[in-house]
Amino acid sequence: MRAVVQALQQGQRFLLGLHASPDGDTLGASLGLAAALRSQGKTVDVVCPDPIPVTYRFLPGADEVLGWEGVAGPYDALVMLDCGGEDRVHAPVSLASLARLVVNVDHHATNPGYGDVVWVEPEAAAVGEMVVELIDALGVKLTPAMALPIYTAIVTDTGGFRHATTRPRTHRLAARLLEVGVDPGAVSEALFEQLTLPILKLLARGLQALAVDPDLPVAWIVLTEDDFAQTGTDPSLLDATGLIGFARSLAEVEVGVMMRPSGPGAMRVGLRSKGGVDVSEVARGFGGGGHERAAGCTVEGDPAWVQARLRTALAAALARGGSIRAKTP
Amino acid sequence: MRAVVQALQQGQRFLLGLHASPDGDTLGASLGLAAALRSQGKTVDVVCPDPIPVTYRFLPGADEVLGWEGVAGPYDALVMLDCGGEDRVHAPVSLASLARLVVNVDHHATNPGYGDVVWVEPEAAAVGEMVVELIDALGVKLTPAMALPIYTAIVTDTGGFRHATTRPRTHRLAARLLEVGVDPGAVSEALFEQLTLPILKLLARGLQALAVDPDLPVAWIVLTEDDFAQTGTDPSLLDATGLIGFARSLAEVEVGVMMRPSGPGAMRVGLRSKGGVDVSEVARGFGGGGHERAAGCTVEGDPAWVQARLRTALAAALARGGSIRAKTP
């Protein structure tokens, strides 16, 4: 961490890079760090290859995130937060041509350690946690402008302090952020109570489609083009429905699977595990990837064929790993 | 608090009383306190007028909660945790005949202060928080047997640290409970990932029924007997669906309403507000009650008639209170 602090102290003009398909952590951590650096009179641009999802637009500064077309280097440093690989920012030019220094701050255990200055802490529940440490080390006083996005980073990446990654330090940091003035009820409302009717109708159709496998502890949700057409939605809204989480929520289920058409002749597959099966292994078998409990892949073939292949892979994975897991808290 | 600690120190045989329709807080706080008192060699019974919901059966000791038929006094003290009124335990005899001392520990601002020893702290996000303070004051070392139910009390009563009631202290206590060994992922799975297929199918039907009012920022879910019959469910499962929360979750909605048949010629009504309208006032107008953001009532009449009366009441409440609320975090 020392080297990161030094880079932040010495530079004057920074570019903070969000990963593609930005989530609350890459965005919140970046906006929090941007506010801290600006409070020290430094210049900061924030860049993202994709639009910021509506859910996060309540964060001050979210509307000022640039696309790559708005970025003109060179910067003293490009700081990439929550980017598991250097390609995750989708930069149109080499990172070295953008900034004198590439700083890699992440909590993905799989981070390969790219960049000139690297701080990867897999134990951190969110990169937002690491940004608070940076702010402290810089001697910057935490303000509401920093606390709100950082709290949002932590609350989204831990599923509201629910995930097993949540550690005592996560809660102690949350306590500090509330003390600075974050209103947890207002953040919760902004994140979870700004849905649209089409999103809820898509959720309803997905739940109608949900079926438990006759032989395996697996729940399947197979969506069709019709599900999107009839509800006036598109797959980009699936995240907001929380649909795949429901597939895993059944007592008798170990793995939840959601499938949707992805271009002609292929299905996009999401996998969620309660922990007894490493679904990233299953996804890797189909050229995908992810984490132990959340992974995905794209599989060619019609829905029935894709489902059959997945069943076989899941049956094997369940046979291997199904007994390793303690079921009681 | 001092007087409560004294009562706990002096007594040897305790009865802890849960409120009817027990939630995670009354149960978790009581099981946590029971474990603490037992660690000091005291005898503790826990009583509840209703069965413990399946959701909470993972808590050690949940299966040993007695019904009133299993209780034989007199006890040195009856300690009521999270009971907003003395009638909430549905005791078949007078409380005074059960125990020498009635101890009232609660966080409901509306608690009338019944009992011989009273500690009401409306700022506490959960009575679970108060029990940690008691355990500390008793000089008892926090163990996993105490930490797990207390963590469950806090996480359920704050909606996973989401509600506006969550304060810095709530997070600091959570940090301590994790340090003692609580696994947040396992608790989350036990609480939220033990659903049944009928529950999800009921949720699907409820979402299909959801409609936004043409004139008011109100979302309506009107359930019929058929919704329960077709899904093989009954109204006791509605809580587990989280359905009413979805009614409030729409961006353009200020109040979510869920109605279901309740006996012949009447509807049970649940109301959820984002905070701009005090729905407990609306509910009181129909002989019900509750909190500012969550209330309920039973209204006689057919669904259309009940909905029409509620619309009028909600339109008036929205006109009164709709502008008082700050919308951004």
Task: Note the helical H segments in B210-273.
Answer: 225-231, 238-241, 243-248
Residue B228 included in any domain? yes
pLDDT of residue B73: 83
In this complex, which of A162, A174, A184 lies closest to B188 when CB atoms are compared? A162
ipTM of the complex: 0.88
Q: Cα dihedral angle (B58, B63, B67, B70), rounded to 10 degrees?
A: -160
Note whether A132 and A204 are same-domain residues: no
Note whether B256 and B218 are same-domain residues: yes
What is chain A's mean pLDDT, rounded? 94
Q: pLDDT by residue (tens digit) across A178-227?
A: 999 999 999 999 998 889 999 999 999 999 999 999 999 999 999 999 99
Contact residues, chain A, for B62 at CB < 8 Å: none
Note whether A184 and A111 are same-domain residues: yes
Name the band, by pLDDT with cuts 50, 70 and 90, for residue B239: confident
Q: What is the mean pLDDT of residues A28-54?
A: 96
Residue A326 included in any domain? no
pLDDT of residue B322: 54
Q: What is the CATH number of the domain that holds B293?
A: 3.10.310.30
Report how far residue B261's alpha carbon sits from residue B6's, in angstroms, rounded to the nearest whole number: 48
pLDDT of residue A294: 84
Report how far residue A134's alpha carbon sits from residue A9's, in angstroms, rounded to the nearest whole number: 11
Parent domain of A276? 197-321
Q: pLDDT by residue (tens digit) across B285-329?
A: 999 887 788 888 999 999 999 999 999 999 999 998 754 444 444
Contact residues, chain A, for B63 at CB < 8 Å: none
In this complex, which of B160, B200, B249 lies closest to A161 when CB atoms are compared? B160
Q: How many domains does chain A have?
A: 2
Q: pLDDT by residue (tens digit) across B207-237?
A: 999 999 999 999 999 999 999 999 999 998 8
**Beta carbon pairs, A and B, within 8 Å:** 166
Report how far residue A282's alpha carbon sits from residue A314's, in angstroms, rounded to the nearest whole number: 7
Note whether A210 and A186 are same-domain residues: no
Report how far residue B60's alpha carbon sits from residue B41's, in angstroms, rounded to the nearest whole number: 18
- Cβ contact B172–A176 (<8 Å): no
Report how far residue A169's alpha carbon sits from residue A163's, in angstroms, rounded to the nearest whole number: 14
Q: pLDDT by residue (tens digit) across A217-270?
A: 999 999 999 999 999 999 988 988 999 999 999 999 999 999 999 988 999 999
Contact residues, chain A, for B250 at CB < 8 Å: 193-197, 200
pTM of the predicted protein model:
0.89
Note whether A232 and A188 are same-domain residues: no
- Cβ contact A168–B176 (<8 Å): yes
Q: pLDDT by residue (tens digit) across B133-184?
A: 999 999 999 999 999 999 999 999 999 999 889 999 999 999 999 999 999 9
Residue B328 included in any domain? no
Note whether B178 and B88 are same-domain residues: yes
Q: How far is CA A74 from CA A14, A97, A253, B232, in A?
A: 9, 7, 51, 64
**Which of B183-211 are b and which e, b meaning 16 or more Cβ less than 10 Å from the residue's Cβ?**
bbbbbbbbbbbbbbbbbbbbbbbbbbbbe
In this complex, which of B196, B212, B274 lies closest to A197 when CB atoms are compared? B212
Q: In this structure, what DSSP letter does residue B66 have?
A: B
- Cβ contact A250–B203 (<8 Å): no
From A192, A214, A243, the end of a domain falls on A192
- CB contacts under 8 A, B 247-306 vs A, are 248-251, 274-275
- CB contacts under 8 A, A 152-181 vs B, are 155, 159-172, 174-176, 178-179
Residue A248 phi, psi (nearest 5)? -85, -10
Task: Note the helical H segments in chain A.
Answer: 2-10, 24-38, 95-98, 127-138, 144-157, 168-180, 184-192, 197-209, 225-231, 238-241, 243-248, 279-284, 303-321
End-to-end CA distance of chain B: 34
Does residue A329 have a pLDDT over 50?
no
Note whether A174 and A218 are same-domain residues: no
Note whether B40 and B115 are same-domain residues: yes
Is the separation of the CB atoms in A103 and A117 below 8 Å? yes
